[in-house]
Amino acid sequence: MYGSSSSSRSPFSQLDWMTILLFLGLLTWGWISIYAAIYDAEKTYTVNQFLFKTNAGKQIIWIGLATMLALVLMLLDVRLFASFSPFFYIGTMALLVGVLLFGREVAGSKSWFDFGGIRFQPAELAKVGTALMIAFFLGNKRVSADKWKYIGILMVIIGIPAVLTILQGDTGSAMVFASFFIVFYREGLPSFIMVIGLSAIILLVATLVMLSDLWGLMQRIIVIGGIILLTIQLIDFFRRRAEDRPKWFVFVIEISLNIILLTIPWWIPVQEYQSEEGVALVKSESFKQNLMWLGAIFGIWLFIKGIFALTIDKKYKPIWLVGFIIMATVAIVGGLDFFVKDVLKGYQRKRLEVLVDPTQGKQDFGWQVYNSKSAISSGGLTGKGFLEGTHTKLNYVPDQSTDFIYCTIGEEQGWVGSFGVLILFVLLFFRLIHVAERQKSKFSRVYAYGVVSILFYHFIVNIGMTIGLFPVIGIPLPFFSYGGSSLWGFTLLLFILVKLDMHRKTEVKID
């Protein structure tokens, strides 16, 4: 299953103290911020009350247990991580299924086990299991991320936990698994797939912004796509030598098909209604029906274009591909409309609306973000001082010790503290990338990039969430946010890498 080379030196001599120091720095700063978030000068606690009744006290217990977990990982045989990766992955998937059946619903998400008042979120372990499974699969030297059959398997590996967490109602955790595309890209995923992915993200954002007028967005997409197709086809026709050009009747048919494409959205009747602001909007039912017509017409159009590309004029294959991309774009917009209006719960839809228009719901779903931004901006350059945050003390921002811990830092420590946290995380990311690239074992390198991907996603989304750049999706800030499940998950994730790095000159073979 695996093989390794021995070394005469003690493995602990290879311990990466820089990563450990950065981990301890983040952990300490995080606990101080949690204490500041829950501090109340009018309340006094005994030691037991503080430890078992307050978030800051309970976090001390979680930190102690996380430290013990890190020490245990240092004592394990490094070869176990590779050999048991598939079993760990399967086990965490079983936990995700189990929580759907027997879990407890918290804040609209059925993603927690409750054991006598102690809650545990298996999605945190699933991230580690998925990172290990990807490393196990890509760790085989015969496997690479530039072949479609392997890309398909990788999609299944990340798709299973993503779907299971979506079924739990935890869209934030589900989106974490998309961060593994960073790993795939490092291991050879074709660049055009990443470009398509980024384009899809831009399209999703545009769709959210125009959610109330998706038919108008569809018209713009099709017109722009049709113009691009016409331009490509005209340039392609006239830059060819005369003997290489298609016959005129073929060219006229091709151009006519593109012009027909441009006019498709205006063929289909729409049912409108007047919004409260007096704007004419397309009814949701009419939009879905129109999408079906649009898909059928596009299918016929692509079939005809495909026949031309494969028979009469084979050099038009790229143009057929562009047409396919336009159809895929239509499908994405329609799919997002269905997802937002028929899959997401009411409070989740409201959060998306607040993201698009932050002025909405200052006393409802938007007030968290509104007050979070207000707290951060009120800190100024150096902050109001430790335990002096007024927004914090008056509880203007819910979840200040968990998902919105960064606003406490911004208010009490100001720009200096906020920027300091960013610098500390950036140093950790650069260090982990350095650690990844010095691994002899492909398994260790792939896993290291998985660690970077997960931590980076949490870092970007959590901070973006607190300043209104992302919707509120319940993503903790690594090593800062209160919570045992997330802290243990991040500690397990990081210290498996620390252990692998202790044997960075060892080759782990995946058979």
Examine the domain organization and report whether 322 and 459 are in the same domain.
Answer: no
70 pLDDT above the threshold of 60: yes
- pLDDT value, residue 1: 44
How many angstroms separate the CA atoms of 408 and 477, rounded? 13
- pLDDT value, residue 295: 60
How many angstroms separate the CA atoms of 425 and 405, rounded? 15
- pLDDT value, residue 429: 94
CA atoms within 13 A on the CB side of 402: 14
- pLDDT value, residue 390: 81
Examine the domain organization and report whether 328 and 378 are in the same domain.
Answer: no
Q: Are 323 and 229 in contact (CB under 8 A)?
A: yes
- pLDDT value, residue 5: 45
For residue 317, how many other CB atoms are within 10 A of its CB?
A: 13
Q: What mean pLDDT is predicted for residues 196-205?
A: 64
- pLDDT value, residue 84: 93
Sequence-distant (≥ 6) Cβ neighbours of residue 60 within 8 angstroms: 31, 51
229 or 38: which leads in pLDDT: 38
Q: What mean pLDDT is predicted for residues 271-287?
A: 49
Q: Are 85 and 130 in contact (CB under 8 A)?
A: no
Examine the domain organization and report whether 173 and 40 are in the same domain.
Answer: yes
Percent of the chain with pLDDT over 70: 63
- pLDDT value, residue 395: 75
Q: Are 59 and 31 in contact (CB under 8 A)?
A: yes
249 pLDDT above the threshold of 70: no
96 or 49: which leads in pLDDT: 96
Examine the domain organization and report whether 329 and 423 are in the same domain.
Answer: no
How many domains are contained in the chain?
Answer: 2
Q: Are 159 and 129 in contact (CB under 8 A)?
A: no
Q: Are 175 and 159 in contact (CB under 8 A)?
A: no
Cα dist from 347 to 130, 264, 342, 343, 364, whole Å:
29, 35, 13, 12, 10
How many angstroms separate the CA atoms of 279 and 275, rounded? 5
Among 292, 310, 344, identify where a domain stops: 344
- pLDDT value, residue 335: 67
Q: What mean pLDDT is predicted for residues 245-272?
A: 62
How many angstroms separate the CA atoms of 487 and 61, rounded? 11
Among 344, 379, 394, identify where a domain stops: 344
Q: Which amino acid is at 347?
A: Y
Examine the domain organization and report whether 170 and 292 are in the same domain.
Answer: no
- pLDDT value, residue 322: 56
Examine the domain organization and report whether 178 and 47 are in the same domain.
Answer: yes
Cα dist from 47 to 42, 51, 117, 467, whole Å:
16, 6, 20, 35
What is the tens place of the pLDDT at every residue in 434-457? 999 999 999 999 999 999 999 999
Residue 6 in any domain: the answer is no
What is the tens place of the pLDDT at every residue in 289-302? 666 666 666 666 66
Residue 363 in any domain: the answer is no
For residue 358, how many other CB atoms are within 10 A of its CB?
A: 14
Sequence-distant (≥ 6) Cβ neighbours of residue 347 within 8 angstroms: 108, 365
What is the tens place of the pLDDT at every residue in 123-182? 999 999 999 999 999 998 888 888 889 999 999 999 999 999 988 888 888 889 999 998
Examine the domain organization and report whether 173 and 265 are in the same domain.
Answer: no
333 pLDDT above the threshold of 50: yes
Residue 352 in any domain: the answer is no
- pLDDT value, residue 64: 95
Of the listed ranges 112-121, 318-327, 367-376, the one predicted with least confidence: 318-327
**Residue 72 pLDDT grade (very low, low, confident, very high; cuts 50, 70, 90):** very high
- pLDDT value, residue 498: 96
Sequence-distant (≥ 6) Cβ neighbours of residue 168 within 8 angstroms: 96, 99, 100, 103, 109, 110, 111, 123
12 or 404: which leads in pLDDT: 404
Residue 197 in any domain: the answer is no
Residue 497 in any domain: the answer is yes
How many angstroms separate the CA atoms of 158 and 163, rounded? 9
Please tell me whether residue 364 adopts helix, strand or coil conformation: coil
Please tell me whether residue 115 adopts helix, strand or coil conformation: strand
Examine the domain organization and report whether 58 and 182 are in the same domain.
Answer: yes
275 or 379: which leads in pLDDT: 379
DSSP code at position 477: P
Examine the domain organization and report whether 180 and 100 are in the same domain.
Answer: yes
What is the tens place of the pLDDT at every residue in 392-440? 777 777 778 888 899 999 999 999 999 999 999 999 999 999 999 999 9
Residue 254 in any domain: the answer is yes
Residue 148 in any domain: the answer is yes
268 pLDDT above the threshold of 70: no
Among 344, 362, 393, identify where a domain stops: 344
Examine the domain organization and report whether 303 and 435 are in the same domain.
Answer: no
218 pLDDT above the threshold of 80: no
Examine the domain organization and report whether 105 and 20 are in the same domain.
Answer: yes
Could you tell me the residue range of the domain that residue 228 belongs to?
Answer: 210-344
Of the listed ranges 77-86, 141-150, 177-186, 208-217, the one predicted with least confidence: 208-217
Please tell me whether residue 69 adopts helix, strand or coil conformation: helix
Residue 510 in any domain: the answer is no
How many angstroms separate the CA atoms of 302 and 262, rounded? 14
Percent of the chain with pLDDT over 90: 37
Query: Per residue in 182-192, is it b (16+ CB within 10 Å) or e — as a string?
Result: bbbbbbebeee
Examine the domain organization and report whether 184 and 243 are in the same domain.
Answer: no
Question: In the structure encoding, which two tokens stand for residue 139, read together?
Answer: 């760790």
Indicate the average pLDDT of the chain: 79
